[in-house]
């Protein structure tokens, strides 16, 4: 093996992580690199990770290196290359005697968690480390963590690949095309019901979506709401949030960051805005991204946006600005 990579996974005893972790060491996600895993959980359930480690050992993954588990995030962070921040407090549970229902409560509670994690990552993670926030509200959790890390060499991302994959699936069924023929499915804005799945710039067997999907009624009344509300639909159907598909989306994001993008292609994730597409600087916003040959991740800047798209994106940007205001007390 040519080199090694250390990956930290939080929420490691949860359903998403159970599907995610084996794929990190299967030889595909990081190629021929040896993968060292640092699995993190809260003190109440950290001992459950002993069984997961046993399963990993029994699976005999040739690319698996050292595997450790702990409830000490700072210790786990030391010299890590990748952080998959899956763990967060979800809506609907009772926390400190109060049932968490409102997004404002979710922002406040998780904000404190991501301040602490951000500080640890900035101080102890490797320079150039990549951080993918999966736990919701993902964009603003990433915004808080990046602010706390104060390490500009590190790349903070919030996951929008799950929304992108959901949109690809819907378009695949609509056009009767194989899902592998659906590319450049950009998710703009927030990972929330305000996100904008860019049906105009998606490529369908190499052709722009705007030239194939011209049914305005279907786009506005079916496609966009279906993507925006798919997470809720999954919860309603199975009684729990997405796990297998969320894990697959996290792996897709890691692989997109590990392997150079093909010419004119892009992938979807939310990163800190530098003002591109008139998104206010500093917001963690969904963009079209490219992985360059030097390993850097860049915003693809040649996407044409219609007035319809701009209006939809503005709704999501306004929500992100509102969330930023709600967590301003956590900025240091």
Catalytic residues, by residue number, are 191
For residue 46, count other CB atoms closer than 10 A to its CB.
Answer: 17
Residues with Cβ within 8 Å of residue 109, at least 6 apart in sequence: 89, 95, 100
CA distance 61 to 29: 13
Which of 163, 121, 135, 133 has its CA nearest to residue 249? 163
Which of 171, 130, 92 has its CA nearest to residue 289? 130
What DSSP string runs through 206-226?
A: TEEGGGT---HHHIIIIIHHH
What DSSP string runs through 283-302?
A: -EEEEEEEE-TTS-EEE---
For residue 15, count other CB atoms closer than 10 A to its CB.
Answer: 16
CA distance 162 to 185: 11
C-alpha radius of gyration, the chain, whole number: 19
What DSSP string runs through 235-279?
A: HHHHSS---HHHHHHHHHHHHHHHSPPPTT--EEEEEE-SSGGGP
CA distance 140 to 143: 5
- Cα dist from 64 to 10, 27, 28, 185, whole Å: 18, 9, 12, 32
* 8-state DSSP, 189: B
């Amino acid at each position: 093996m040519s080199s090694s990579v250390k990956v930290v996974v939080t929420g490691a005893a949860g359903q998403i992580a159970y599907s995610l972790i084996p794929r990190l060491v299967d030889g595909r996600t990081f190629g021929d690199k040896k993968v060292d895993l640092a699995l993190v959980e809260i003190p109440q359930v950290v001992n459950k990770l002993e069984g997961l480690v046993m399963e990993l050992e029994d699976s005999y993954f040739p690319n698996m290196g050292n595997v450790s588990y702990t409830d000490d995030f700072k210790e786990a962070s030391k010299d890590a290359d990748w952080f998959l921040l899956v763990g967060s407090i979800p809506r609907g549970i009772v926390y400190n005697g109060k049932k968490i229902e409102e997004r404002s409560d979710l922002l406040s509670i998780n904000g404190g968690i991501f301040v602490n994690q951000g500080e640890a990552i900035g101080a102890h993670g490797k320079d150039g480390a990549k951080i993918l926030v999966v736990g919701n509200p993902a964009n603003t959790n990433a915004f808080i963590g990046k602010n706390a890390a104060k390490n500009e060499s590190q790349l903070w991302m919030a996951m929008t690949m799950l929304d992108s994959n959901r949109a690809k699936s819907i378009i695949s069924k609509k056009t009767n095309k194989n899902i592998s023929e659906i590319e450049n499915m950009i998710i703009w804005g927030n990972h929330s019901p305000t996100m904008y799945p860019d049906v105009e710039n998606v490529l369908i067997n190499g052709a722009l979506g705007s030239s194939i999907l011209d049914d305005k009624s279907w786009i506005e009344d079916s496609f966009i709401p279906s993507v925006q509300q798919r997470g809720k639909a999954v919860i309603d159907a199975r009684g729990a949030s997405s796990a297998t598909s969320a894990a697959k989306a996290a792996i897709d994001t890691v692989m997109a960051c590990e392997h150079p993008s093909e010419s004119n292609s892009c992938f979807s994730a939310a990163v800190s805005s530098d003002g591109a597409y008139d998104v206010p600087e500093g917001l963690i916003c969904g963009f079209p991204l490219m992985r360059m040959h030097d390993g850097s991740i860049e915003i693809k800047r040649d996407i044409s946006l219609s007035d319809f798209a701009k209006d939809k994106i503005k709704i999501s940007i306004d929500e992100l600005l509102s969330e930023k205001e709600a967590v301003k007390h956590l900025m240091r």
